[in-house]
Chains A and B, each alone.
Chain A
Amino acid sequence: MAKGDGDRFTNLPEPLLLHILSMLRNSTEVVRTSILSERWRYLWKSVPLSLDFPFPQYPYDVNINTKKVLAYIASTNRELHYFRSCEKIKAFRVFPYKYRDYLTKDVDFWVHFATKIAGVEEFTLQFYWMCFPDYAYKFPQFAYRNTSLRNLVLGNCQLNPTGSVSWSSLVSLSIGDVALPEGVMEKVLLGSPNLECLELDKVGGIRRLEISSVKLRKLIITNYETEVAEEVVYWLEIFAPYVRHLELSGLCSDEIRFQLRNVASLVTAVLSLSVDFHELEDEKDKLEKECRYFQELLHCVSHVENLELGPWCFECLSILELQGWVFPPSSWKFLKLNTALVLLDFPGIWSFLPSSQDLQTLVIDWNNHKPRDLLSRYTNKDERSKWFKTHKFNCSLLHLKTIKVINFDGPLSGNKSVVPLVKYLLKNATVLEKFVIAAKFEGRDVPKDYVKMAQEFQSFPRSSPHASVVFSY
């Protein structure tokens, strides 16, 4: 072939070649293509690059020492230097191990590189470890004003702007492992008028989260017991009248408890939190309080279309049902329950079915290994067997089209909870289209039990002529 008379690949239009290059696994791969042929020599410079610098070792490894951290900083700085001739750096992500004084200047440089030199759209600065609550990297003041950032992720960084914040293009913000001084969250929200998604992961110091922007649609709050210790339990009040998607997860025991004040526009709610009123000594009072708390939460989200409930919520649901609570009517169309249906869980699943008239999709995620200690402690065997004897399984599932059981494991034949439920649903869901049970099966030999049950499922009577039943493993 004559020089310059390229092959089929090389002759693709340039925008297409750039698109392909932008899909390579990492930026070094993109640079390496410069050697393919002359046409490729400078092409890489026009590709919007993502520069990722994951810490090269498992960050919780005890053998990480200063030398290794310094080597990480040096190699990151070297590569940044090499990449500086690119036309566009889209994303920059750094994960320095743990904050130490000697890191300050390098991290300041990275923030400067991201916000002032490269003008990246995505920036992640995540320290894996916190030394002490008051000893963390201070996000530099110059970075509180920026027009290019669209996605910002900050972990274990102190935020404390002295002036106002102006992140005019910011669409998504994630803050983790930090206690915010008073007024900082307000400043950040005020300065980010285009924010659509806010994620707070173990963030302390907020008493009242008021989101008044119509654009902010997604709110994710995770809470765990952290070293960001608070003296007293406090409530985090959430006023978010325009938020459409809300996720609350983590353990709320001695720090924060959420209180939903206004979530009127909510369409999707994911409640996978777990709450412990540890300050109450009497076990019975504690349970009572937890169930009331769950009821309140549920009441706040009764208008949503899509609801997901985690293990703790599901346990409360079962207890409330055993107590004789009548579930109020709901408008849920999609419901996902995180529960491996052991017999104890059954009251929970029966509690809402009669009141969920609009339900179209039911997903049961089997991946739940939380012991049912609340349930077994609160209720005794007699009570439970009484419930099973007296409960009338009677509900109309007029709109239920899809049922999925995912991550199923364990034996199936003779399973006293699953098989009857499958039969009941097949018999009563009149417009059912699809019933899928997907087993989380790893290994070579398929249990004989599964093969047998897969056939048996097909023989169960069903009221919807179009329903397909699939058991996959």
Chain B
Amino acid sequence: MASSSSSSKTGLKKMLTLKSSDGDEFELEESIVIQCQTIKHMVEDGFSLIPLQNVDTKTLTKIIEYMKKHAEKTESNKEEIKNFNKEFVKGSFDDQFELVSAANYLHINGLMDLLCQSIADRINNKSVRAVREIFNISNDYTPDEEEKVRDEHKWAHEGGEFDESLD
């Protein structure tokens, strides 16, 4: 709320338009969008309408939500941002993979790290079977091959109980 009232007051901010792969356009303040390195470079080259062929409307909406929130970041609202981040990574993995690819393409490092860490946290300490199931990874090893690979790194699979649950 605070940010929308302060920005409408000034009114002189430079605006940019982002266009998703579905053709939808989003108008945003430059100061928000330059968190994204790819766009920052385009702005420096004089573009004000930025077509994003690899990002669909659904993903772009989420990314804009992230950039808007993080543009408000100050010394005193760290807790608020932390909670926002926690909520932000709660979507399905398909959505997260879509987002992480887009964040990678757009070079938004903070978002990349946030999503990668959230995915990594779901792998930690899980059994191989659980990881495959959680992320829907198709196992294309033959049983013999799989046994061979397991044997190669036997030491890494030993010792320690791995979590079989899917949550």
Contacts and interface: CB of A to CB of B under 8 A. Distances in A.
Interface of A: 1, 3-10, 12-13, 15-16, 19-21, 23-25, 28-29, 31-38, 41, 78-79, 82, 402, 433-434
A23 B138 contact: no
A9 B116 contact: no
B136 A9 contact: yes
B1 interface: no
Nearest to A11: B97
Q: Would you list the 4 A-B pairs with minimal beta carbon distance, nearest first? A: A23-B120, A31-B156, A9-B135, A25-B124
A23 B137 contact: no
B153 A36 contact: no
A16 B116 contact: yes
B160 to A, nearest CB: 8
B138 A7 contact: yes
Contact of B128 (A4, A8, A25, A32): A32
Contacts of B153: 31-32, 34-35, 82
B57 interface: no
Contact of B101 (A4, A13, A23): A13
B58 interface: no
Interface stretch (B9-17, B19-27, B139-147): B139-147
28 contacts: A6-B140, A7-B135, A7-B138, A8-B97, A8-B136, A9-B93, A9-B97, A9-B136, A13-B104, A15-B104, A19-B116, A20-B123, A23-B120, A25-B125, A29-B125, A32-B153, A34-B149, A34-B152, A35-B141, A35-B146, A35-B157, A37-B138, A37-B139, A37-B140, A38-B141, A38-B145, A79-B155, A402-B76
Interface residues on B, range: 35 or more
B149 A35 contact: yes
B150 interface: yes
Given A19-B112, A31-B153, A434-B76, A8 B93 contact: yes
A28 B158 CA distance: 10
Nearest to A18: B116
Contacts of B93: 8-9
Interface of B: 76, 93-94, 97, 100-101, 104, 112-113, 116-117, 119-120, 123-125, 128, 131-132, 135-141, 145-146, 149-150, 152-153, 155-157
Nearest to B135: A9
Contact of B132 (A21, A23, A29, A36): A36
A316 to B, nearest CB: 29
Given A36-B132, A37-B139, A82-B155, A20 B116 contact: yes
B155 A78 contact: yes
A28 B156 contact: yes
Contacts of A9: 93, 97, 135-137
